[in-house]
Amino acid sequence: MAMQVASAEGDEPELNTTINTTPLVDVMLVLLIIFLITIPVIVKVVPVNLPNAKNIPTTTKPENIVLAVDKDENIYWNNQPVDSNQELIQRLEDAMLRAYHSGRALPEVHIRADKDVRFEAVGRLVYDAQRASVPKIGFLTEPQNTAAAAP
């Protein structure tokens, strides 16, 4: 580091008006190194062993309610057609009340939907089940047939 001293003539030297950026660059490089070292220490992921996906067969109890929707959006209650959503809600409420008053566990609602049905029809079933205070809703699916998909 250099320093200017007054000359012997007594004149004041010119003022150094330029900014010395060397210390600024040094500080920035040190900060960059500190951040690069500390970021991996700060960012931690909670170690979790994720389960493997398995197709567990559903055990259907007699008290469970199976609702089906075909591709034409017709609703079926245990293979019997249901005329309207209001009738479906009323039947679900009646089933929940009967189970509650008899002291049995509340029935589960299992929804079977055609693969070509619009999502809106399935959403309507879920909404109707919520309005009827159904505590548990599940979806029934077919296991994937990998032998048929292979060329």
Q: Model-level pTM greater than 0.75? A: no
The topology under which CATH files domain 65-142 is Nucleotidyltransferase; domain 5 (3.30.420)
Helix, strand, or coil here: 80? strand
pLDDT at 109 over 70: yes
pLDDT at 1 over 60: no
Q: Which range among 29-33, 53-57, 105-109, 116-120 has the greatest average pLDDT? A: 29-33
- pLDDT value of residue 4: 58
47: left (phi > 0), else alpha (psi -120 to 50), else beta?
A: beta
* 85 contact partners, CB below 8 Å, separation of at least 6: 75, 124, 128
Rounded CA separation 114/148 (Å): 19
pLDDT at 28 over 90: yes
